[in-house]
Every structure is written in structure tokens, then in C-alpha cells.
Amino acid sequence: MALIEELLGAARHAALAGGLSRLMTIHIEVGTDSGIDPRILAADIEDRFEGQLLGGCQVVAELADGTEVEMVAVEGEQLPGNHL
């Protein structure tokens, strides 16, 4: 489960760096040669969501070339008064 923790950490970091108070969508790319099913990974990640930042968030996992699995983008709601 280290991969899930790493992806969630990257998403939290991106949210804080972007001034987001709540994540709505996390976009992940899963390498075709990684041996990981994107649907299962997305479901496993969503099972771990809780709290104000991640509650109700959706994971979009798409196949990409290679062996890497990485968080590529987040979408969410900005903190009040934070206009980036």
C-alpha cells in the first residue's frame, strides 16, 4: 500500500500548493507495463478517502506508456480569498 500512500501524499501536496480546500478529482496515469489495473487502483484509493480535503473525491486513472504510476493533476475548490 506504499504506492497508494505516495499518490495520496502527492495529491495532498498539490492541493495545498494550489490553495485548494477540497479535492474533487485526482488524475493518475498508470503505465501499461506496471502490472497494475487502473480501475482497481482507483477503487483502492477512493476507499481511503476521508475528511474535508478528500471526502467525496473521485479518482480518474488512465493508462499511459511505460511502467510508472503517477499522480498527474488534481482539481478542486479553492480556499476562500485565494485567487491563483
Parallel, antiparallel, or unpaired: how do β-strands 69-78 and 20-31 relate? antiparallel
Least trusted range by pLDDT, from 25-29, 34-38, 47-51, 68-72: 47-51
Average pLDDT over residues 28-41: 96
CATH of 2-78, one of 3.90.1640.10, 3.30.70.1250, 3.30.390.50, 3.30.2320.50: 3.30.2320.50
Q: Where are the domains of the chain?
A: 2-78
Distance CA 62, CA 80 (A): 31
pLDDT digits (tens, 9 = 90+) for 9-25: 999 999 999 999 889 99
CA dihedral sign, ordered 4, 5, 10, 13: positive
CA diameter of the chain: 43
Angle at 19 between CA 4 and CA 81, to 5 degrees: 155
